[in-house]
Amino acid sequence: MSWLGFFLFVVLALILIWNGKDRYAKKDWLRCGVMLVCVLVGTLIIGFIFRWLSESWSLFSIERAQQLAAVWSMSFLCLWGVKLVLTLLVAIFGNIMKFHKTHNAENYPKIASTTDRFGPPLLVVAKVFVSLVSVLLFYGLWLD
């Protein structure tokens, strides 16, 4: 069960990271907040389901039910957080460039040419880094 959960959440995280949707509009940020609320409500539902399975069908102990509920809930929260971190990195970099465009107009062409050349490889490096971090997160949750 633990290996299956590990691979499931790693694959979901990699799909979220590498899907190409890295810039959010205002409507997407609202959806991101709604997704956090859904994850938190889902945490309560998962907890009640595992407790019910523990008490009604005696599939496992209550302590094991609490542990499973915590692992599943944290896994969904980590999925949300991994995508948020990557999107925030892109948003911060975009805001820095907007700042330079308005307040540093004389040097902006130099900065823009540099970022056009080094920006896409740095985004790939950031995605690789976040991918490795997500593997470590799910390893710690599921296999430790």
* pLDDT value at residue 71: 94
pLDDT tens per residue across span 34-56: 999 999 999 999 999 999 999 89
* pLDDT value at residue 27: 85
Helix pair angle (108-138, 62-103), 10° resolution: 180
The mean pLDDT value for 5-25 works out to 90
Confidence of residue 78 (pLDDT cuts 50, 70, 90): very high
The answer, yes or no, to whether residue 115 has pLDDT greater than 90, is no
Confidence of residue 118 (pLDDT cuts 50, 70, 90): confident
Q: What does the buried/exposed string (b/e) look like for 31-45 if buried means 16 or more CB atoms within 10 Å of the residue's CB?
A: eeeebeeebeeebee
More confident of the two residues 28 and 33: 33
The mean pLDDT value for 122-138 works out to 94
Residue 90 has a CB neighbour count (10 Å cut-off) of 16
Q: 3-state class of 26 per DSSP?
A: helix
**Model confidence, pTM:** 0.86
The answer, yes or no, to whether residue 144 has pLDDT greater than 90, is no
Residue 13 has a CB neighbour count (10 Å cut-off) of 23
As a whole number of angstroms, the distance between CA 75 and CA 125 comes to 24
The percentage of residues in the chain with a pLDDT greater than 70, rounded to a whole number, is: 100
The DSSP string of 84-142 is: HHHHHHHHHHHHHHHHHHHH-TTTHHHHHHHHHHHHHHHHHHHHHHHHHHHHHHHIIII
* pLDDT value at residue 136: 96
The mean pLDDT value for 60-80 works out to 92
